[in-house]
Amino acid sequence: MLASALLLTACDQPKGAPRAADIPASPPAQGPAAAAPNAPLPPRPPEPIVWDEADDRFKLDGVVLKTAHLWRFDGSLEAFSSAGSSLQPVASGGLQVIHQVPDAVLRSPQNLAIDGKRYNAVLVRLTRMRPSDKWDGSIFYTTKAHGETGTFHTKPLRGANPVQGETTLMVYDMANLKKGGGDWTASTILGLRLDFDDSVGGGFLVHQIAVVSLPPAATLRPSQ
């Protein structure tokens, strides 16, 4: 009887079907596919304000911008100072800024006596030399009425947070602050402060910084 039952069981299997012991084990389940590397950032739109190497000035549509102050850092710090960064003028031109602590600051000379109503923008042309984890990009300023404070500051309209090796022109619209309303245009500006990165290790070559007069159309671009 037992032999007959075994024979029937074997006959019940389809012809050619493998025995359970002959079926190979399924391969282990694979984890999720590795994420594709980040796609490169799209190119920035053309900047209407340019640095003219021949004339050594900033221009808009071929016309030199009216300028209250222009710092080129030709072999000199030009009285700029920093809290938290090392500063070094570069022989070929520009100011090397290396952040040694988080939230390092770069300060202009003081007593600039800028007519905020007439000169409504700050331009910073720079190249990122070293990457960093966190960008800031804020600009602060001082007047007789107040020092450096988050109550009066703004961010660049364009050119913010360059990647390593990229040169950008950061355009700050000081007539339309993120915080502070019309304080800039109603004041005489004594000093500037720039916060590039908000973390340690980042590095920049600052080519030029200028305080200029811009027509409104030059600032009507989407923020970056």
Say how many Å lie between the first and final Cα of the chain, rounded.
Answer: 86
DSSP symbols for 17-62: PPPGGGSPPPPPPP-PPPPPPPPPPPPPPPPSEEEETTTTEEEETT
User: What mean pLDDT do residues 212-219 have?
Assistant: 84
Q: Mark out the alpha helices in the chain (DSSP H runs).
A: 2-12
With 60 as the cut, is the pLDDT of residue 16 above it?
no
Q: Say whether pTM exceeds 0.85.
A: no
> What is the pLDDT at residue 42?
78
Confidence band, pLDDT 50/70/90 cuts, at residue 1: very low
What pLDDT is stored for residue 46 in this prediction? Answer: 87
Rounded Cα–Cα distance for residues 50 and 60 (Å): 7
CB 193 within 8 A of CB 140: yes
Provide the pLDDT for residue 220. Answer: 60
Between CA 204 and CA 43 the distance in angstroms is: 20
- Length of the chain counted residue by residue: 224
Q: Are the beta carbons of 126 and 204 closer than 8 angstroms?
A: yes
Tokens of 172: 């700050």
**pLDDT confidence of residue 38:** 52
Show Cβ contacts of residue 144 under 8 Å, excluding neighbours closer than 6 positions: 187, 188, 190
Give all domains of the chain, ordered by start, each with its CATH number. Answer: 49-213 (2.60.120.260)
